[in-house]
Amino acid sequence: MMRCALAMASVALLASAGPREETHYLFSYFRGNGEDGLHLACSTDGRTWTALNDDKPYLQSRVGSRLMRDPCLLQGPDGTFHLVWTSGWTDRMMFGYARSKDLLSWSEPRAVTVMEDEPKCRNVWAPELFYDDARKQFLVFWSSTVPGKFPDTDRSGDGGYNHRVYGVTTRDFQTFTKSRLFYDGGFNVIDATMIRAGAKVVLIVKDETKTPVKKNLRIASGDSPEGPFGPAGEPFTIGWVEGPSALRIGDETFVYFDHYASPQYYGAVKSKDLRTWTDVSKEMSFPKGCRHGTAIRVSKDVVERLKAGR
């Protein structure tokens, strides 16, 4: 059923692909352990990414453990940019949030509290943003371990972590719905991201299973951004990758990833139908040392303002 759904989605993707125009892309990322904050890079082809601001950070985290890992950037329908991030390895019930009109001046970073009904929650990792046009609301989803909640996979991960994806919705980033289980594919999972594919929504996740080792990316699909999603397909990347971010470029879908094992590098795979994938990592050029980021399409004006620093 999943193969059929993705085949239908790929037809819609091809049908919706218009003529190529000059486009610009931004990539948000962190360096090291996330100590210094938000970094940005730009590209016109999705392959060669150039660090902006001399690779100096645009925003520092002042919440939780004061780290800024896994920054996810999204531009809302009114043009405002929203940023969420992992604020610390063991910040159990929060993620960081800030907003900006121009990516130069930012609101004061603040903590968003989640998982209040799960007092045993160990972590809140890699929050991701998605805008639901139909419901006119933002979806925020992340990975958390709640000890004892999924006993069948308790021994599958590192250090006793056994993640599932949880989420909330919001219209204004002031009021949020109650945290809920968003995706349980029956395996230890982190770093979920989403992209539309015609009438379908594709959820890309990292299979975090270590015993036996997986550590690769898989796809599940659904009819709505809020799910439910079908069973995950077979892996479409090599192992020891994480932090997927999907971007449509022409008639192809690129999924960027952080290959975090030695040698650490940023790579990508691409596909025209979401079924057959080609590793194009050797075509990629990212700022040295960049980690788990998010690629988005933006207007030329946004990039020009960032280059001018105004």
Find residue 99's DSSP bridge partners.
Answer: 82
Q: Average the pLDDT over 189-197 and give the result.
A: 97
Residue 49's CATH number:
2.115.10.20
Q: Average the pLDDT over 209-214 and give the result.
A: 94
Q: Is residue 49 assigned to a domain?
A: yes
In this predicted structure, the answer to whether residue 244 has a pLDDT above a threshold of 70 is yes
**Strand positions, DSSP E, the chain:** 24-30, 39-43, 50-51, 69-75, 81-86, 94-100, 110-113, 125-132, 137-145, 163-170, 180-183, 189-197, 200-207, 216-222, 241-249, 252-259, 265-271, 278-279, 291-298
Q: Average the pLDDT over 231-243 and give the result.
A: 98
Q: Contact 211/162 with Cβ under 8 angstroms?
A: no
Q: Is residue 21 assigned to a domain?
A: no
Q: Is residue 191 assigned to a domain?
A: yes
- Per-residue model confidence as pLDDT tens digits over 176-185: 999 999 999 9
- pLDDT in the model for residue 38: 98
- Per-residue model confidence as pLDDT tens digits over 131-190: 999 999 999 999 999 999 999 999 999 999 999 999 999 999 999 999 999 999 999 999
In the three-class reduction of DSSP (H, G, I as helix; E, B as strand; rest coil), residue 259 is classed as strand
- Per-residue model confidence as pLDDT tens digits over 104-139: 999 999 999 999 999 999 999 999 999 999 999 999
Containing domain of residue 227, as a range? 2-16+26-308
- pLDDT in the model for residue 190: 98
In this predicted structure, the answer to whether residue 20 has a pLDDT above a threshold of 80 is no
Task: Report the percentage of the chain scoring pLDDT > 70.
Answer: 93
Q: Contact 71/294 with Cβ under 8 angstroms?
A: yes
At 50, list the tokens.
């150039």
In this predicted structure, the answer to whether residue 61 has a pLDDT above a threshold of 90 is yes
Q: According to DSSP H, which parts of 50-129 are helical?
A: none
Q: Give the type of residue at 255.
A: V
- Of 8 and 173, the structure prediction assigns the larger pLDDT to 173
- pLDDT in the model for residue 16: 45
- pLDDT in the model for residue 310: 74
- Of 260 and 9, the structure prediction assigns the larger pLDDT to 260
Q: Is residue 174 assigned to a domain?
A: yes
Q: Is the dihedral of CA 302, 306, 307, 308 positive or negative?
A: positive
In this predicted structure, the answer to whether residue 11 has a pLDDT above a threshold of 60 is no
**Interatomic CA distance for residues 229 and 203, integer angstroms:** 8
- pLDDT in the model for residue 225: 97
Q: What's the mean per-residue pLDDT of the chain?
A: 93
Q: How many domains does the chain have?
A: 1
Question: Which residues neighbour 287 within 8 Å (Cβ) at sequence distance 6 or greater?
Answer: 29, 39, 41, 49, 50, 51, 55
Q: Average the pLDDT over 238-250 and give the result.
A: 97
Q: CA dihedral defined by 132, 137, 143, 144, rounded to 10 degrees? A: -150
Q: Give the type of residue at 85.
A: W
- pLDDT in the model for residue 2: 42
In this predicted structure, the answer to whether residue 14 has a pLDDT above a threshold of 60 is no
- pLDDT in the model for residue 133: 96
Least confident span in 17-21, 77-81, 191-195, 261-265: 17-21
Q: How many CA atoms lie within 13 A of 221 on its CB side?
A: 20
In this predicted structure, the answer to whether residue 8 has a pLDDT above a threshold of 60 is no
